[in-house]
Amino acid sequence: MRVLFLVSGLLLAGPALAADDASACAEGITMIRDALALNPPEPALPKLKKALRVAEREQKEGEFDECLDAVADARKVLGR
């Protein structure tokens, strides 16, 4: 019986977690765009462009966890 409650709770939480990831993905893409607009140092430029490209692609595909991975890569480049 406990397993049933646990499974049903996880199934109901799924859409809420996806919405949070979608929002964080969109915010991350905005952060990367803002960083690129500030003319980052030359070594960081291709890494940020790649992170933006990947994040946007994954957002379109609905793969928000992979979008967040790309955003995390950009944050590492920026030292955030």
For the chain, the structural domain boundaries read: 18-78
Q: What is residue 37's predicted lDDT score, i.e. its pLDDT?
A: 97
Q: What is residue 59's predicted lDDT score, i.e. its pLDDT?
A: 98
User: Would you list the DSSP string of 3-21?
Assistant: HHHHHHHHHHHHHHHHHHH
CA-to-CA dists, residue 47 to 12, 17, 62, angstroms: 37, 28, 22
Digit-coded pLDDT (tens) for 5-45: 445 555 555 555 567 999 999 999 999 999 999 999 999 99
Q: Is the pTM of this model over 0.85?
A: no
User: For residues 35 and 39, what is the distance between their CA atoms, to the nearest angstrom?
Assistant: 7
62: alpha, beta or left, given left = phi > 0 and alpha = psi -120 to 50?
A: left
Residue 71 · residue 32 · CB < 8 Å: yes
What distance lies between CA 74 and its chain's CA centroid? 10
